[in-house]
C-alpha cells in the first residue's frame, strides 16, 4: 500500500510530466469499483480540461483542472482501441464551471502510468486519459481498491496535512482523546495520510509508547512528536524522490527506496539506540513496534 511519502513522490513525478497538458478524451473500463464518481461525470469533467496542477492531499493525488471549452480537441480516428461504454455525450463542453478536480486514490495496488499511446495496455487498466501532447495517463489497478473521482471546486480530504500542521493545531488534535496515541496518529480525520510504518517510526523518535493515551501526553512530548512526524515523512519523501522513473510506478512494493526502519518490523531485534529488544503489540488491529526502554 503506497504511504504518504510514496504518494507525494508519485504526485511530483506526474506533475512534472502532465502539468499544462490538456485532456483530449477519456476511456473508462467496465469495472465499477474503481469509479467513485459516475463514469459520465468523470469523463465530462476531464475532457477538454487543462491540468493546471498535480498535488498530494493526504494519500490522494489531486489534479486541479481548468475548464476551457474553447480548447480544440483534434480528432483521433484511430485513437480508440477499445469501445467506450461510459463515454459521456457532449463531454462537458456546455459546462460553465471553470474549475474542477480529478482525485485519484491508489488503494493497495493502484498505479498511474504516463506513457506513449503505442505502449501496450497493461492488464487491469481501468482508465486511459489521452492528452494533447500525445501521451496517455493510465490508471492500472489489479486489486481494485483504488478510486477515481471528480469534484467541483474543492475536494475535502478531511483531517490536517501532517507536513503543514503547526504545533498549536497538532497539540489540539489530541486534546481529550482517550485512544492510544498510535490510533490517534492513524486516525485520518485528525492527520491525513500518516500510515502504520510512519506512525511507529515517529513515536520511536519522539520517545513515546504507542499505547499511551493521547490525552495524557505532555505538551512537551507532543512537540517532539510534531517534529518527529514531519522529519520521518520528509526523509522518506527525499529518499523516494530519487527512485521515480519515467514509468511512474506506484506499486508500493518495488521501486521505492524505503526509509531504514528503526523499530517497524524489527520485533526481537536490538534497538539501534539502547540495544533493548524491540517489542511488538497489536493496537486496534495494527502491529505496533516500540523500544521498551527508549519509549515511555
Which residues here bind Zn ion, judged by CB under 5 A?
A: 271, 273-274, 276, 291, 293-294
Q: Is 59 considered catalytic here? A: yes
Distance of closest approach, residue 271 Cβ to Zn ion, in angstroms: 3
Distance of closest approach, residue 220 Cβ to Zn ion, in angstroms: 20
* Residue number with CB closer to Zn ion (215 or 274): 274
Distance of closest approach, residue 91 Cβ to Zn ion, in angstroms: 59
How many CA atoms does the CB half-sphere of 184 hold within 13 Å? 27
φ and ψ at 258, to 5 degrees? -90, 145
> Which of the residues 17, 56, 59, 130 is marked catalytic?
59
Q: Is 69 considered catalytic here? A: no
What are the distances in angstroms from CA 275 to CA 19, 66, 139, 218, 287? 48, 55, 45, 26, 21
DSSP state of 72: -
* Residue number with CB closer to Zn ion (181 or 271): 271
DSSP-H helix ranges across 176-287: 181-186, 196-206, 219-240
* Residue number with CB closer to Zn ion (160 or 181): 181
Give dist(CA 70, CA 121) in Å, integer: 30
Q: Is 67 considered catalytic here? A: no
* Residue number with CB closer to Zn ion (86 or 262): 262
> Which of the residues 12, 211, 224, 286 is marked catalytic?
286
Q: Is 33 considered catalytic here? A: no
The beta strands (E) that lie in the chain are given as 23-28, 49-57, 60-67, 99-105, 111-115, 125-131, 136-140, 147-152, 279-283, 286-290
> Which of the residues 3, 8, 47, 201 is marked catalytic?
3
Distance of closest approach, residue 5 Cβ to Zn ion, in angstroms: 24
Q: List the catalytic residues.
A: 2-3, 59, 286
Amino acid at each position: 500500500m503506497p504511504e504518504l511519502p510514496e504518494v507525494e513522490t508519485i504526485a511530483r513525478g506526474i506533475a512534472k510530466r502532465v502539468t499544462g497538458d490538456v485532456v483530449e478524451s477519456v476511456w473508462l473500463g467496465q469495472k465499477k469499483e474503481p469509479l467513485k464518481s459516475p463514469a459520465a461525470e468523470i469523463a465530462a469533467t476531464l475532457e477538454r480540461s487543462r491540468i493546471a496542477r498535480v498535488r498530494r492531499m493526504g494519500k490522494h493525488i489531486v489534479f486541479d483542472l481548468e475548464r476551457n471549452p474553447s480548447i480544440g480537441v483534434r480528432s483521433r480516428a484511430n485513437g480508440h482501441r477499445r469501445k467506450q461504454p461510459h463515454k459521456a455525450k457532449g463531454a462537458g463542453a456546455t459546462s460553465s464551471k471553470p474549475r474542477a478536480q480529478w482525485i485519484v486514490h491508489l488503494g493497495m495496488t493502484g498505479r498511474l502510468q504516463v506513457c506513449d499511446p503505442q505502449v501496450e495496455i497493461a492488464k487491469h487498466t481501468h482508465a486511459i486519459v489521452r492528452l494533447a501532447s500525445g501521451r496517455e495517463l493510465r490508471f492500472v489497478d489489479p486489486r481494485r481498491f483504488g478510486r477515481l473521482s471528480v469534484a467541483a471546486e474543492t475536494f475535502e480530504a478531511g483531517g490536517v496535512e501532517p507536513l503543514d500542521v503547526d504545533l498549536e493545531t497538532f497539540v489540539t488534535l489530541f486534546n481529550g482523546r482517550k485512544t492510544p496515541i498510535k490510533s490517534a496518529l492513524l486516525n485520518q480525520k485528525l492527520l491525513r495520510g500518516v500510515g502504520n510504518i510512519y506512525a511507529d517510526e515517529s513515536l520511536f523518535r519522539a520517545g513515546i509508547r504507542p499505547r499511551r493515551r493521547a490525552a495524557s501526553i505532555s505538551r512537551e512530548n507532543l512537540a517532539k512528536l510534531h517534529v518527529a512526524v514531519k522529519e520521518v515523512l520528509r526523509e522518506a519523501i527525499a529518499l523516494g524522490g530519487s527512485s521515480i522513473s519515467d514509468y511512474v510506478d506506484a506499486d508500493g512494493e518495488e521501486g521505492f527506496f524505503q526509509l531504514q526502519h528503526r523499530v517497524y518490523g524489527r520485533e526481537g531485534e536490538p534497538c539501534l539506540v539502547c540495544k533493548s529488544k524491540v517489542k511488538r503489540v497489536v493496537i486496534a488491529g495494527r502491529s505496533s513496534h516500540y523500544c521498551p526502554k527508549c519509549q515511555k
